[in-house]
Structure formats: structure tokens, C-alpha cells
Structure 1
Amino acid sequence: MGFFDNARNVRLQQELATGPIRPSQEWFSQLAGEVPEFGDLTGQIIAVSGRPRELVDHAVLAATIKLEAELWLRRAADAMQGRHPRITWGNIKIVLDRPDYSGRLLSEFLSTGEATGSAINNKLVEYLTGEVVAKLVAQVQAGEMKPSGPTQPPPQQTTSTSTAESFDTPITAAERTPTADTESASQTLDDTPVKAAPSPPTASRSVETPIPVAPQLVPPRANRRWSGLLALLGVVAVAILMAATVRVFSGNDASRSSSNAYVRDKPAATDFTAGDCSSPPSFEAQRFTVEGEQLTATIRVRSLCSDGAILASDSTRVTIQDGSSTVAAGIFDLATSPIAVPPSDTYLDQRFAFPVGTYWRLPDTLSRVSDLAIEVVELGQSSAPKEISASQINSTPRVAIYGAPPIVDAESAAIEGLKAQADADAALVSSAVADRWIPQISSKRVGLVADGLTWTNADILREHMQLRTRFSQAVLTWSGSWSTYSSPDFWVTSVGVAFPDSRSALDWCVANEFDRDHCYAHIISNSRGPQGTSAYLN
């Protein structure tokens, strides 16, 4: 990690520990809800359980809720590692341990992580208000939260004292750019004899270092002995909390989000009850957009059943193919957020969001959307109810909780994604920035050892997507296609902003807080050699 990165992290952690947290207004306004207060959940659990308040240890119950949240957040941060520099377990723990901690404060911080942080916030809210409430209601009803001493009133506010000492060591997201104490990719691209330029690698080449699949975001269970009983009582508890099931697809709901709209020629019924039909729905791609760090696919879902269908598997794999190339593949937990597919005379336009690491192609590299193939497979247990309540249906996109299992070759998909993106950017590079000074912010090749990683194609593509999210004018090139690179086998990320001289390009590096090892000025050209086409910060 370079000097500027260290300084930036120290400043961020100081701000998180004591200063005001400035939320992203854009992302905060789109959250499904704020993280609930642990004390408020304690009161709700006791009320639903029907147990006298004086027979429940409020402090222990609140601490148990906090521990459940911490365990879940740590696993979520691990699964999302590297997708946004702010969203690390170390940073989340700092917020949780603040003397003035509140659920709103945590949500405000998570919103600064854009799509990644917002996805964690929304899943945490679902987890705490659903599974945790149901589980702890059952434990309270079973008498497991009885006070060990004199009874005490409920605390006014749950403090942030840690109940999980094993979490003292922060987990930081892996940095994705070279550092001064590792091999600098930028230093290897000039002042050496030019070699014959190889073609970009093909998907069939062997890969010795496959990218590991991120762990599933499934919160740990505290007591396996009660799993069967908790499941049964949990359903009852959640039913009580919902109060009444409101049927959907009723009346003309003009306020329903168009991004997740039910389209039909006749007024919608107010109820949605799935019938007995074994035919799976059909899926057809409609459009793709890049929203923050994630690729969002709008998919038209049609039921082949007259009564519609409900998709509610806790492990649903969605794979999108462009010919033999994988566009995106991720696992979705639809058990906590089911999808209600309307009857066969209409359709649902549902959005699926793929975070960085679960997609390999951007919209400008795709062929006709109508030609894309979509496969949806329920890998896990489906707990689809016959009837779905309005509180379980929302217009927000379903976000993949982790990458697809090994059935999708991440390396092959990444190679195809890198080649497609470089091809898509080639025209812009040739017409707008060739033979001019531009900032180069990354250069990586397979097998490069830098920043604690032995880089794979999947790692290289992931970093490029993250940089592209940060800098909208970023472009990708294959060094073997241009004569000003001395090493012909690097994937290079540059910012497509042309400057009149090297000093101006280096000033851009400084203005964006890059150091010498992470940014330098370079000329991309096919009319000259490497000599004199690179300039570095002092």
C-alpha cells in the first residue's frame, strides 16, 4: 500500500471513530430501511413472545442481537472483500464500537460504500427483522433468556460494548494496485527491448491459480439443537409480526415501480396465490445498466402457469451467456425476498444486480440483448409459500450474495470479458487519446506477484471494473497491440483524458491522490517505440 493509501485509510478510520459520518445522499435515500436499534428489537421480541417483561433479561437479549449482527457483518464483509475500499470488517467494527452508535449511524456509513454497502445494509435489515427475530422469539418463549439475578428494566439504548472478542483483529479489503515493496507493474513496461507482441490469451489456456469462490452470506446459527423447533416457531412469530397477509396483484397500483412492474391488460387482482404447476417460468433479458459497482440486468419473467409462481429458493443461480461467453453469474437468496411471478397472461420485469466479481462483461461489449441466454437454477431449498405477503415484495433489485460456484469458469469468463472490453475501447483509444499523454493507473499480467496476490485474469478484470466505476473515462488496452509498451502481455487500465504534456498528466495523478507506484504518464501509440513515452512522479 502506498503512502497516499495509508494516509487516506488512517484519516478515514479517525473520521469513523469520532467524527461525523457523511452518508451518500444518493445511496442512503435508496436503502430499503435503516438498521434497526438493538434495543427496539429487544422490545419487539419480548412483545411477540408473550412472555412477561420482568421474566426476560433485556441486557442479555440485546447483547445477543448485537452479536448476531456482528457475526453476520463480518461474514458479509469477508464475502464482499475488495469490492469497495470503505467496506471492510475493520471499518464496520469501528462504527459498531462508537460510544454514540445507532442503527442510523451504521446505515449512513454503509451508504458510503455505494452498491456494495447498500446491499449489505438491506440484507442485514432483512436478517435482523426476519431470521433473528424469529429465532430469539422462540428462545424467549422457551425461557432461555431468564434473568440470572434481580430483574431489570429494558436499557434505554444498547451500548456498543463488544460481545465478540475474537473480532478484535480487523479484516481489511485486499488492495488491488501494486505497492512500492512489491513488483510495480508500471515499472516493467518501459526501457527494455521490445518483444514480439503476443495475442491476448484465449479461454482455453490452463490456469494454475483459480480464483476462490467467496463464502456464502449465510449467518451462523447459535444453537443447532433448536434448529427444528426454531424453524417451526419462527414461522409463527413472523406471521404474528406481519399481522395479516395482504394479497398482491390487486387493483391498479399506479405507484408501483416501473423498474419492477407487473404488466397486464386487465386490472390486477389484489391477491397472489400460486397454483400447483410444475412448469418453470421463462426468462428473457431486456436491458443492462451499470449502477455504481454493480451490473444490473432487467429480466422479463413469464410464468407458464395460469396462477403464476413464486421463486423462493435460498440459493438460486442466475447465469447470463452471450454465446459461449459468460456475462454474469451469481447466487441469489430469494428465500428472504421472494419473487412473485404473475399469471401467464402477463409478465414481470425483475432486476438482478451482480456486484464486481460476479460479472465479466459491460453493456457496451454485448451483442443484441435479445440473443442472450439466461439460465435460472434453484440449487438450494425452496420454501415458497402458497401465498405471498405485500411486505415481502418490493421494487428493489435482488443482489447476488456471492459468485457462482465452479460450474462457471471464472478465469475463462474473465479472459473473454477482458478481450471484449479492450475491443470495445479500441476505437475510443485510437481516435481520442492515441499519441497523447494520458494517466495510466494499472497494468497487470497473469502470474504477476504484487500486493500479496498472484494475479489471475479474474483479479485483473475485477480491478479494472472497480477502477472503471471510480473513473468513468477509464479504458482497457492489451499492451501487445501497441508499440509503446516494452512488455507485450499486460492488461493496462488508463484514463482516457488526453493532456498536452506529461506534467499535466502527472498533475492529474496527484489531484486524484495516486503516488508514483500507482499512476504515471504514458503515450499509447503505434507510430513510435517505448523510449520517451513514459514519465513518473518524483
Structure 2
Amino acid sequence: MTLSSIALIGVPAAAADEQQATAEQNTAAKPSVIINEVYAGNTKAAGDPDSKRCDWAELKNTGSTDVDVKGWGIYDSGKKAKKHYTIGTSEVTNTDTVIKAGGYLVAYIDPDKAKPAKTCDAAPDMKVSSIKSDNLIVTILATSNCDDKNASTKFNDSATRLTLQDSDDNVVADAVFDFSGDNAKTISGDTGTKIKVSYASSQYYRPANEIGANPSDLSVKSVTGSDKGAGAAASSDSGVISGSNVTDDEAENNASKALDWQVEHDKDSAELFYSTYTAQLSSKRKGMEAEGKTWNYRDILAQFITMHNKNSNVLLIWSGDWPAYSSNSDKYYVILAGEGFDSTDEAWNWCKANNYGPNDCMSIDLQ
């Protein structure tokens, strides 16, 4: 056995009643004890107290008080070796389990007495840690939801749908990710594991800068064994997992609800243009034949987000809500510039200055 990637778990691996008090003390003190050095594949260096050459890990107490690490676990998280070794048992040989303040302890790990790491099937708890808005790279903190805090969860499904929702459960991003093979994660311990995923422009349903404004307000819904649609996110960032689209029906449903949410969100701002002019940039409805394609909800939303990324004042309205469009029996999602003008000429000058032609930009007030 050769240690590959290890972690120190400051909770007793055994659950004996007599260790409970020690467990509580050790858990509180855990942040002060670190893995200082690891010697793997020991064939030449000094052995343990029984002269047996073992891999070893040197622990350091960086705190100001002594810490007893009896019952703590050293977890080997390498790709092949998934083992757990308990300090203070025959699995880990050492003469004392108390590390003095500022002191060290060398734990010799006996490969012949290793125990398989405990696992559970409970889905991990997940929350958004941070968002990089440029291309919607989301860092998710996943923590173990196992009853036994020494157990870990394998996050290795090849079709895990991760849906980001706001505080009202509205979907803001949705994609299916492959966590199998090299993308697999082991979720263990209270500190959790960070997972970075990226959503392509077809996989989020609000402007990226708005999604990233308050990441702590977002929740993560995880569903394994999900159906995939076509397309995948592309990211140049190392360690970021790209996702496939959800199915067309699910994406279209997400986009339809997102359009309705955006219309309601922008209604108060649009009321300013009862008494002044703004510029209309687009009017589209589902099934409309225009610009060489048949428009669906995803196309309409994508156009709005693209324009919003260019100009954050852009608004989305439903023509049926405003008197200016009452003469037209067909109703449309309308994109407005969100800029106020005193005259139609001023609005048209704005259109020209922003490279919009007469077929793409027109002056309007909403009365």
C-alpha cells in the first residue's frame, strides 16, 4: 500500500461510548492539527516501533494547547486505495496520541490492518459558494449528509442534473454533468468538497451578472440518472466540469417560465415610459417565422440576454400589458432599450449611435 492523497478526519472512527467526551474535545480542536509531512512507499527509512517499515504521516499541532488525536482517522483518498486508518489502534502505530502544543506526532500506518472507508448512499448537501459571471462558472460546496460523519459519499454518476434556483424556486441555470471517471468526487467530512461546473449560454435563464450578484440566495437541486439533450458547455478553466443541455422540452419549459419572470420583474421599470419615449429593439413570439428561423422560447430569451449583456438597461415586456400595442391582436415579447428620450428623433439618434438599423430599432412610448 502506498498513500496517495490523504486527509485527516478529527472525529473518532469508532463510536464507543467511552470516546464520546474525547470526540467532542477533538472535534473542537481539529483546526489546529494539520498533516505536516507524508512519507509514502517506505522501503528504506526507519520503521515503526516494531521495526516494520510502513508509510507514515507526520501530524503537527499548530495550536496553543495539547490535543489528543486518539480515535481520529487518516483517510487515504487515492483513486485505488479507499482506506481509513484509526489513530490509537493497531492500524496506526505510535507510542502516544497526545500532541503537545506546537509539537509533532508520527503516525505509522500498517497496510495489513487497513479498514475499507465507510460509505453511504445519502445525497450530499449542496450550496453555491461563488459564481464567476463571465462564463457562468459556479463553485458548489458539497458536504456529507451521512449519519456517520466518518462515512463518505461517492459523487460519480454520469448524468447528474444540477439545477440552480432562486429563493422562490425559479430556475436560473440547468444542465446535466458527467461525474464519472476522472470527474468523480468523494464527499466526506464537515468541511466539504468544492465542485466547479460551467453552464453554457443555452443553459442559464437570466443574465449571468444577475445570477452571480447574490450567489448565497441560490439553491442547488441534484438529480442523478437524468436525460441529456444536445450540446455541452465549454470552459478553458482547469478543473471545471462542463455540462450537457437538459432535454429540449425541459429547456423550453425553463425558458417560458424565465420569460414570464423577467416580464414581471421589469414591469415597474417599464412604467417610466408611459410619459417619455424609449426604443423598441425586438418583438417576438413563439412560432414566429423571422430572420430565417422559427422562434421558440429559448431563442427569445437568448436574444434578450444577449442584448442585456450589451446594455444592462434593456427591459422585457409583454405587449398585451401595454396600451401602445392594443390594436394588434397578436401578442409579443418586446425588448426595450430602457433608455428614456424626450422625442422620437432623440430615440432614433440613439438607435443609430448603437448600430441598430430602422428595421431593428424604433421609437415608442407605452401609452
Judging changes above 3 Å, is the alpha-carbon distance between structure 1 residues 287 and 459 closer, same or farther for their aligned structure 2 residues?
farther
AA aligned opposite 2:159: S
Query: What does residue 317 of structure 1 align with?
Result: 161
AA aligned opposite 1:510: K
Secondary structure (helix, strand or coil) at the match of 2:201 reads coil
Secondary structure (helix, strand or coil) at the match of 2:334 reads strand
Task: Tell me the matched-pair count.
Answer: 253
Judging changes above 3 Å, is the alpha-carbon distance between structure 1 residues 289 and 481 closer, same or farther for their aligned structure 2 residues?
farther
Which of 77, 86, 98 is equivalent to 1:272?
Answer: 77
Query: What does residue 342 of structure 2 align with?
Result: 500
Query: What does residue 470 of structure 1 align with?
Result: 310
Taking the aligned partners of 2:219 and 2:288, their CA distance within structure 1 comes to: 34
Query: What does residue 459 of structure 1 align with?
Result: 299
- Aligned residue runs from structure 1 range 329-368, under 5 A: 329-335=174-180, 338=183, 340-361=185-206, 363=210
Cα displacement string for residues 261-303 of structure 1 (whole angstroms, at most 9, x for unaligned residues): xxx94556586345452424423333675724x5454433112
Query: What does residue 5 of structure 2 align with?
Result: 247
RMSD, matched Cα: 3.8
- Aligned residue runs from structure 1 range 139-154, under 5 A: none
Taking the aligned partners of 1:450 and 1:245, their CA distance within structure 2 comes to: 62
Q: Is the 8 A contact 2:158 2:180 kept in 1?
A: yes
Taking the aligned partners of 1:295 and 1:414, their CA distance within structure 2 comes to: 17
Judging changes above 3 Å, is the alpha-carbon distance between structure 1 residues 506 and 331 closer, same or farther for their aligned structure 2 residues?
same
Structure 1 residue runs of 5 or longer lacking an equivalent are: 1-243, 251-263, 381-393, 529-538
Q: TM-score, normalised by structure 2?
A: 0.57
Larger displacement relative to structure 2 (320-329 or 458-467): 320-329
Which of 428, 437, 441 is equivalent to 2:277?
Answer: 437
Cα displacement string for residues 194-230 of structure 1 (whole angstroms, at most 9, x for unaligned residues): xxxxxxxxxxxxxxxxxxxxxxxxxxxxxxxxxxxxx
Which protein has the larger Cα radius of gyration, Structure 1 or Structure 2? 2
Residue 371 of structure 1 and its aligned partner are, at CA, apart by: 7.7
Taking the aligned partners of 1:452 and 1:507, their CA distance within structure 2 comes to: 28
Cα displacement string for residues 323-373 of structure 1 (whole angstroms, at most 9, x for unaligned residues): 675332212234476264452222234343322222224657999966845
Judging changes above 3 Å, is the alpha-carbon distance between structure 1 residues 482 and 272 closer, same or farther for their aligned structure 2 residues?
same
Judging changes above 3 Å, is the alpha-carbon distance between structure 1 residues 296 and 510 closer, same or farther for their aligned structure 2 residues?
same
Q: Is the 8 A contact 1:441 1:520 kept in 2?
A: yes
Taking the aligned partners of 1:489 and 1:522, their CA distance within structure 2 comes to: 16
Secondary structure (helix, strand or coil) at the match of 1:461 reads helix
Q: TM-score, normalised by structure 1?
A: 0.40
Cα displacement string for residues 19-40 of structure 1 (whole angstroms, at most 9, x for unaligned residues): xxxxxxxxxxxxxxxxxxxxxx
Q: Is the 8 A contact 1:437 1:502 kept in 2?
A: yes
Taking the aligned partners of 2:306 and 2:162, their CA distance within structure 1 comes to: 22
Q: Is the 8 A contact 1:249 1:268 kept in 2?
A: no
AA aligned opposite 2:293: L
Q: Is the 8 A contact 1:301 1:341 kept in 2?
A: no
Q: Is the 8 A contact 1:310 1:338 kept in 2?
A: no
- Aligned residue runs from structure 1 range 364-443, under 5 A: 372=219, 374-379=221-226, 397-400=240-243, 402-405=244-247, 409-431=250-272, 433-443=273-283
Taking the aligned partners of 1:290 and 1:378, their CA distance within structure 2 comes to: 27
Structure 2 residue runs of 5 or longer lacking an equivalent are: 9-29, 39-75, 83-116, 228-236
Secondary structure (helix, strand or coil) at the match of 1:357 reads helix
Aligned sequence identity (%): 23
Secondary structure (helix, strand or coil) at the match of 1:352 reads strand
- Aligned residue runs from structure 1 range 284-303, under 5 A: 284-286=126-128, 291-292=133-134, 294-303=135-144
The answer to whether residue 349 in structure 2 is matched with residue 511 in structure 1 is no
Taking the aligned partners of 1:300 and 1:403, their CA distance within structure 2 comes to: 22
Taking the aligned partners of 2:211 and 2:157, their CA distance within structure 1 comes to: 32
Structure with higher RCO (Cα < 8 A, 6+ apart): 1
- Aligned residue runs from structure 1 range 6-155, under 5 A: none
